[in-house]
Amino acid sequence: MRSANEQDLTTKPELSAILLMVNGFQAIRRTVHHLCAQTARRQLELVIVTTRPNARLIDTAALRPLGACQVLEVDEIPTAASGWAAGIRVAQAPSVVLCEDHSFPEPGWAEALINAHRGDWSAVTPAMNNGNPDTKVSWANFLLCFGEWFSPTESGPVFSCPGHNTSYKRDILLQYNDKLEDWLNPERVLHFDLLKKGHRMMLAADAVTNHVNISRAGTYLGHSFHGGRIFGGSRAANWSRARAALYACAFPLVPFIRLRRLMQQLDTPEKRRKARFWGSLSWICAGLLCHAFGEATGYLTGAGHSMKHYLNYELRRIENVIPSEKAIWLTNDETSGQLEEALVH
């Protein structure tokens, strides 16, 4: 493993964006494009975590608007959490934010996160918007994952943050030492632990990112199941068998509890209309059932091979949307041929 600096700030960056590249550069180009368009881009460091063969595919010219960039070459990226943990350890800024190849921040996102981290907040979440809002399946996937942070009216404290899109004070994450990868897998367990230790988390309503969601029906149901199994397995890792069995037996109640919570989060008729809640309700219920069953499976048998499946869903999102949405990954000056390159690598 080695770290290669591509460019350096004369002063230390204030926020490091950790971005994994498991395919070619075209798969992350759209995210890089949005990072380079940030109002605070000169205070932003980009850490690209990739394998040695893929590192040569990086378009270094596309990174020039940023204040700093480093490429971290690793032998493999077996889980997204392992890549993010590696990137966090080499980051230069006091705060880090996890980024994805399918989450595209608006121009004021980095500046708002930087400003929020000047306060006494251990974790700061952006507001989440649906980046591919044309299908019911996409809305169902989005609401199950991000409904809590959709269309907020104001900034303020929260009790949990979205996975893979949250920013943290780096020194707090480093306190988890060599267990950081485990705590990031999944992050909700990390958030439970942060709250237990007295840390505070905040939603910054003026930091907005547009998240592209799974829109293929079968993939959406698989994503829900495997995500639930990973959560259950991680949560029950240190539980007694009796406690794990008790939680597993209660899984039929979980969809009803989560549906009620989602309806409370979408607390106005206008917000429910905007989120296409009623139109996507059948898919929401199907996803809740799959997630609850996966969670119960995780309590009883651990995560199993679910992380391998989940890695494909999260790091190859372009393969998990309907064909008409693949063009989302193109920037204005790109061609369909470049999109094909993203899929090949």
Which pLDDT value is given to residue 338?
41
pLDDT digits (tens, 9 = 90+) for 164-176: 999 999 999 999 9
Between CA 57 and CA 219, with CA 23 as vertex, the angle to 5 degrees is: 165
Give the CA-trace dihedral at 50, 55, 60, 64, to 10 degrees. Answer: 20
Which pLDDT value is given to residue 276?
97
HEC assignment per residue over the chain = CEEEEEECCCCCCCEEEEEEECCCCHHHHHHHHHHHCCCCHHHEEEEEEEEHHHHCCCCHHHHCCCCEEEEEEECCCCCHHHHHHHHHHHCCCCEEEECCCCEEECCCHHHHHHHHHCCCCCEEEEEEEECCCCCHHHHHHHHHHHHHHECCCCCEEECCCCCCCCEEEHHHHHCCHHHHHHHCCCHHHHHHHHHHCCCCEEEEEEEEEEECCCCCHHHHHHHHHHHHHHHHHHHCCCCCHHHHHHHHHCHHHHHHHHHHHHHHHCCCHHHHHHCCCCCCHHHHHHHHHHHHHHHHHHHHHCCCCHHHHHHHHHHCHHHHCCHHHHHHHCCCCCCHHHHHHHHHC
Which pLDDT value is given to residue 186?
86
Q: What letter represents residue 92's amino acid?
A: Q
Q: Which helix (H) or strand (E) holds 322?
A: none
Name beta bridge partners: 120: none
Which pLDDT value is given to residue 7?
52
Which pLDDT value is given to residue 2?
41
Separation between Cα atoms, residue 158 and residue 196, nearest integer Å: 14
Q: What letter represents residue 224's amino acid?
A: S
Q: pLDDT tens for the chain, 345 residues: list them.
A: 444 444 554 568 999 999 999 988 999 999 999 999 999 999 999 999 999 999 999 999 999 999 999 999 999 999 999 999 999 999 999 999 999 999 999 999 999 999 999 999 999 999 999 999 999 999 999 999 999 999 998 999 999 999 999 999 999 999 999 999 999 988 999 999 999 999 999 999 999 999 999 999 999 999 999 999 999 999 999 999 999 999 999 999 999 999 999 999 999 999 999 999 999 999 999 999 999 999 999 999 999 999 889 888 988 899 999 999 999 998 654 433 443 344 444
Which pLDDT value is given to residue 138?
98
Which SS3 state, helix, strand or coil, does residue 158 take? Answer: strand
pTM of the model: 0.90
pLDDT digits (tens, 9 = 90+) for 227-265: 999 999 999 999 999 999 999 999 999 999 999 999 999
Between CA 158 and CA 130, with CA 93 as vertex, the angle to 5 degrees is: 45
Q: Work out whether strand 2-7 and strand 68-74 pair parallel, antiparallel, or are unpaired.
A: antiparallel
Q: Which of 231, 108, 217, 122 is closest to 174 using CA atoms?
A: 122
Q: The domain 2-330 is classified under which CATH number: 3.30.390.50, 3.40.50.720, 3.65.10.10, 3.90.550.10?
A: 3.90.550.10
Which pLDDT value is given to residue 254?
95
Do residues 121 and 202 make contact, with C-beta atoms less than 8 angstroms apart? yes
